[in-house]
Amino acid sequence: MSAPPPALSTGQAVIAARARFASDPAVSRGRLVPEAESPPRTAFARDRDRIIHSSAFRRLKHKTQVFVYHEGDHYRTRLTHSIEVAQIARSIARALGLDEDLTEALALAHDLGHTPFGHAGERELDALMKPYGGFDHNAQTLRIVTRLEHRYASFDGLNLTWETLEGLVKHNGPLIDAEGHALGHYRESGLPAAIVEYAEVHDLALASWPSAEAQVAALSDDIAYNAHDIDDGLRAHLFEVIDLGDVPLVGTALAEVLKTYPKLDRARLVHETVRRVISAMVGDLLAETNSRAARFTPGSADAVRSLGEPLVAFSLQMRENNRVLQAFLSKRMYRHERVLAITDRARRVIRDLFEAYMADPELLPKDWREDSFTDDRSRFARQVCDFIAGMTDRYALDQHKRLYDLEPLLR
């Protein structure tokens, strides 16, 4: 049995031999609608390409993370965030000997189901949809790639491989236990109908862990949003560099930069600190994952799925560091009065649009009216939800102005 690849050390690029537990496109479980292969691309590379060329991916350009699109050109959007996640994820996959194309596909697609106005939009849409099954961005991503994209002659959606769909749905872990009971944040509400309905025709093994590639994509998301939220928060002056001194991981990186470059200007100081935070988290993930690989010795991708716990992980100390950093960002950024004022008004835009379309289907664009289920309130609500969830921040504000003859509320 081959030894696990080494951890990535500072300043050292490691390209590992293919891990025995990597996903292999040559033995993919295939697509719901069978298709001929498309050499020289592998099945996973083809998935990645379809995601990049999708309409939903392009719309991420004008969907925000924390700040609304017109507040400045330098804040992250869902698109720039997804690209950053993909870069981190592909680097980690290469170091671990995993399939880079599958990892990249999952990283690029993980935010396709998000609404306009970030988490504020999602919370409002979920509240409005409570009588009709709620809203969940993970389930919405599945709807987009299996139903809502209308590009191909032979099928709706993107007809992605089983491995990509599996990774999108359960990248954070199993969704149900062995008895079929919902787990995690679905424990109280149950699995979203979109996931349940799709799994009935294409079993995604919801009780098992996902591939190592999906696990890498999920933790790369954590690394990326920690780093860019620090950067964006400082750029917006929601907190200052000195406030990060006592925050584990960030404070250590900051002290190292100040010691090495005592006269560095603020912009470079921030960047040097953030890049060290990313490097520290990546290095920790590689070391912990290699340790687990040596202990569990999974011999295949399916062996990873049946471990009963994640193969790809941070150390206990890094998880604690991450918890403290998230608590800091929650208090000083996500709950900052400036951000809360914006999100409150953003939720109003979503609410006004939903109520208007539900009251009068004729307000919907023609191609969304032709298949309106006005005699089935629940199905029609889901159609309205799909329309709103797919909007960019800019389009939602434009539609609100058109319907209510008001200037955009967030200007």
Hey, what CATH class is 40-411 in? mainly alpha
Mean predicted confidence (pLDDT) in 127-136: 96
In angstroms, the first-to-last Cα distance of the chain is: 61
Question: Higher-confidence residue: 224 or 408?
Answer: 224
355-383 tens-digit pLDDT? 999 999 999 998 887 665 556 889 999 99
pLDDT at 29 over 90: yes
- Closest C-alpha to 99, from 8, 216, 13, 218: 216
43-94 tens-digit pLDDT? 999 999 999 999 999 999 999 876 554 454 446 789 999 999 999 999 999 9
Question: Higher-confidence residue: 12 or 380?
Answer: 380
The reported pLDDT for the residue numbered 66 is: 62
The reported pLDDT for the residue numbered 375 is: 67
Rounded to whole angstroms, how far apart are CA atoms 100 and 93?
Answer: 6
176-226 tens-digit pLDDT? 999 999 999 899 989 999 999 999 999 999 999 999 999 999 999 999 989
The reported pLDDT for the residue numbered 370 is: 62
pTM of the full structure: 0.92
- Closest C-alpha to 343, from 66, 149, 105: 66
| C-alpha triplet 379, 381, 384: angle, nearest 5° | 115
The reported pLDDT for the residue numbered 157 is: 97
pLDDT at 8 over 60: no
The reported pLDDT for the residue numbered 35 is: 96
The reported pLDDT for the residue numbered 407 is: 55
pLDDT at 295 over 90: yes
The reported pLDDT for the residue numbered 75 is: 65
The reported pLDDT for the residue numbered 67 is: 52
The reported pLDDT for the residue numbered 308 is: 93
The reported pLDDT for the residue numbered 30 is: 96
Mean predicted confidence (pLDDT) in 260-271: 94
Rounded to whole angstroms, how far apart are CA atoms 342 and 410?
Answer: 7
The fraction of the chain above a pLDDT of 70, given in percent, is: 91
Mean predicted confidence (pLDDT) in 336-355: 90
pLDDT at 267 over 80: yes
Rounded to whole angstroms, how far apart are CA atoms 387 and 18?
Answer: 42
Average pLDDT of the chain is 91
The reported pLDDT for the residue numbered 70 is: 45
153-183 tens-digit pLDDT? 999 999 999 999 999 999 899 999 999 999 9
The reported pLDDT for the residue numbered 41 is: 96
The reported pLDDT for the residue numbered 406 is: 59
The reported pLDDT for the residue numbered 73 is: 47
Outline where 53-136 has alpha helix (H).
55-59, 78-96, 100-109, 118-128
Rounded to whole angstroms, how far apart are CA atoms 172 and 166?
Answer: 11
